[in-house]
């Protein structure tokens, strides 16, 4: 007794070939986009958030934007994420008069809008910003020597970073636990101020740190968007 019938849906060789041909035509006709993070081409139908080839690229893109915001914020240390300065804003429209070096009269007095007064927090210390090379004469040996001399004294973070907008992979790991705590607080503050569209999740941040270590781009993007 035959089990085949007119309603049998078992695919034949011909129907399988037709399906493969149809898929190939769809693939050829589908639009592609360039990933917003890695610049790889990806199928528009499978794109993540309409712009990325993978969730990892999406998270890295968001993490990079957050890091850029931190590095451009002069009140934050981009290495350990501590708050190093606070800004007290004056009443709107307050003018500041700046006198010229000659002091000859009104022509040397310029007016500027006062943005605010900035104050160091307990995390800021004064230290050397960097060293520069200088050539000096050494009469004792009758030759010129190249020596390192201090470039300038300036405020820096207690973590050792002398330029808050710079990131230092060695310094960030000296007190890694504090760096992580400061990062969480930093992201929460930026989200509350509207700089970031999404607040961080501590469980997601914790899991991302466990899985990816100090890959801050991916860690921050995961903490913000899962």
pLDDT, one tens digit per residue, over 150-199 is 455 667 888 988 888 888 999 999 999 999 999 999 999 999 999 999 99
| Same domain? 173 vs 209 | yes
| Same domain? 198 vs 217 | yes
For residue 186, being part of any structural domain is answered with yes
How far is residue 19 from each of residues 10, 13, 23, 226, measured CA to CA in Å?
13, 10, 6, 37
As for how many domains the chain has, the answer is 2
| Same domain? 171 vs 217 | yes
pLDDT at 21: 59
Q: DSSP labels for 110-162?
A: EEEE---EEEE-TTEEEEE--EEEEEEEETTTTEEEEEEEE--EEEEETTS-S
| Same domain? 114 vs 216 | no
pLDDT, one tens digit per residue, over 76-106 is 999 999 999 888 876 665 555 555 555 554 4
pLDDT score of 147 more than 50:
no
| Same domain? 171 vs 78 | yes
| Same domain? 201 vs 99 | no
For residue 115, being part of any structural domain is answered with yes
What's the half-sphere exposure (Cβ side, CA atoms, 13 Å) at 199?
8
- Could you give phi then psi for residue 100, rounded to 5 degrees? -70, 170
pLDDT at 46: 86
| Same domain? 57 vs 108 | no
pLDDT at 136: 44
Nearest by Cα to 201 from 181, 184, 179:
184
Rounded to 5°, the CA angle 189-182-79 comes to 110
pLDDT, one tens digit per residue, over 31-65 is 888 999 999 998 888 888 888 999 999 999 999 99
pLDDT at 95: 58
pLDDT at 55: 94
| Same domain? 99 vs 189 | no
| Same domain? 201 vs 220 | yes
Q: Rounded to two decimals, what is the model's pTM?
A: 0.66
User: What residue numbers bound the domain in which 113 lies?
Assistant: 86-120
pLDDT at 66: 96
For residue 15, being part of any structural domain is answered with no
In angstroms, rounded to a whole number, what is the distance separating the alpha carbons of residues 80 and 183? 7
Q: Which residue has the tokens 């958030």?
A: 49
Q: At what angle do helices 216-225 and 55-72 cross, to 10 degrees?
A: 100
For residue 144, being part of any structural domain is answered with no
- Could you give phi then psi for residue 211, rounded to 5 degrees? -85, -30
| Same domain? 61 vs 96 | no
């Amino acid at each position: 007794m035959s089990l085949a019938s007119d309603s049998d849906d078992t695919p034949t060789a011909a129907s399988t070939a037709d399906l493969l041909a149809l898929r190939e035509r769809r693939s050829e006709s589908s639009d592609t986009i360039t990933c917003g993070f890695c610049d790889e081409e990806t199928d528009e139908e499978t794109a993540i958030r309409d712009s990325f080839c993978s969730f990892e690229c999406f998270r890295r893109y968001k993490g990079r934007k957050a890091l850029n915001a931190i590095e451009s914020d002069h009140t934050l240390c981009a290495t350990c994420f501590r708050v190093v300065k606070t800004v007290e804003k004056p009443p709107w429209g307050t003018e500041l008069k700046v006198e010229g070096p000659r002091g000859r009269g009104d022509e040397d007095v310029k007016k500027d809008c006062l943005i605010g007064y900035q104050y160091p927090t307990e995390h800021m210390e004064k230290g050397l910003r960097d060293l520069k090379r200088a050539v000096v004469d050494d009469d004792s040996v009758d030759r010129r020597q190249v020596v390192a001399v201090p470039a300038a004294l300036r405020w820096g973070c207690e973590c050792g970073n002398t330029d808050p907008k710079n990131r230092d992979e060695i310094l960030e790991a000296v007190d890694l636990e504090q760096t992580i705590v400061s990062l969480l607080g930093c992201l929460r503050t930026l989200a509350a101020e509207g700089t970031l569209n999404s607040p961080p999740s501590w469980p997601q941040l914790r899991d991302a740190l466990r899985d990816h270590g100090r890959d801050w781009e991916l860690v921050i993007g995961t903490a913000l968007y899962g």
